[in-house]
Homo-oligomer: A and B are copies of this chain.
């Protein structure tokens, strides 16, 4: 099973701490060694890094651990290949443009017999079920709205579309357009909201802890969504199977 990490914040925040523990799962504390990737929004712009080397050994992952890129929306993925060879074009997250915005998608799970009709502007470059699912979501979103819908409207559309894919298998996913982070759980997804008063957190996968109070202001809010909890001493909330949540400005919207 792959590993997902998403971050949504109300102010640009670096993901160095969470990424440090997460990257260990690519080859060291877990067996997801078939590539990895991460995408950071900066305003409408995007930094997108993918590598088919294990994240615990990748020089690009090392750069990201050492170079704090600040972002309000981040999606990262460590791959355990189920469908599609170990190749750069099969590494998540995937990126497409729609309505003049970039959209970033990463998937954890496996979809059986999922070969939707892709008759519009979105076609997979690689050979994964995940990229097919993303292309179909983009195609159907493009039909449902004339331009970028607001966050709540798009959430309703995604709640209609997601079950049509999820019935083909396991479909935990993260999606962002730089304004919000959407997260859907089939089998395993957790989130935590970090806010004032910030506390000390201890990583599960690496002997590293951080006192968030030191680098934050009382107004900062950060939501982190992940396949399994990253820290041992924070209150992680489990998603229910079939649940789709949206995070904006560092908090889960009702």
Listed residue (A88, A90, A91) with the most chain B CB atoms within 10 angstroms of its CB: A88
Question: In the assembled complex, which residues on chain B have CB atoms less than 8 Å from the CB atom of A46?
Answer: 88-89
Which of A2-10, A17-25, A108-116, A119-127 interfaces with chain B?
A: A119-127
Chain B residues with Cβ below 8 Å from A63 are 59-60, 63
Q: A48-B48, A63-B59, A121-B120 are in contact. Are A43 and B88 (CB under 8 A)?
A: yes
Write out the residue numbers on chain B whose beta carbons fall within 8 Å of the beta carbon of A51: 47
How far apart sit A88 and B50, CA to CA, in the bound complex (Å)? 18
Which listed residue, B45, B59, B89, B142, touches A91 by the CB 8 Å rule? B45
Q: Is there contact, CB below 8 Å, between A89 and B43?
A: yes
A67 surroundings in chain B (CB, below 8 A)? 59-60
Chain B: CB-nearest residue to A147? B123
- The number of chain A residues touching the other chain, given as a range, is 35 or more
Chain B residue numbers with a CB within 8 Å of A100 are 123-125
Q: Is A230 an interface residue (CB 8 A)?
A: no
Is A87 positioned at the interface, with any CB of B under 8 Å from its CB?
yes
Name A124's closest neighbour in chain B (CB-CB): B100
Query: Is A220 located at the chain interface by the 8 A CB criterion?
Result: no
Q: A59-B63, A60-B63, A63-B59 are in contact. Are A44 and B125 (CB under 8 A)?
A: yes
Give 14 new A-B contacts, CB below 8 A, not counting A44-B87, A47-B50, A60-B63: A42-B87, A42-B88, A43-B89, A44-B125, A45-B87, A45-B88, A45-B126, A48-B48, A63-B63, A96-B97, A97-B123, A100-B123, A121-B122, A121-B142
Residues of A participating in the B interface, judged by any CB pair closer than 8 Å: 42-52, 59-60, 63, 67, 87-91, 95-102, 120-126, 142
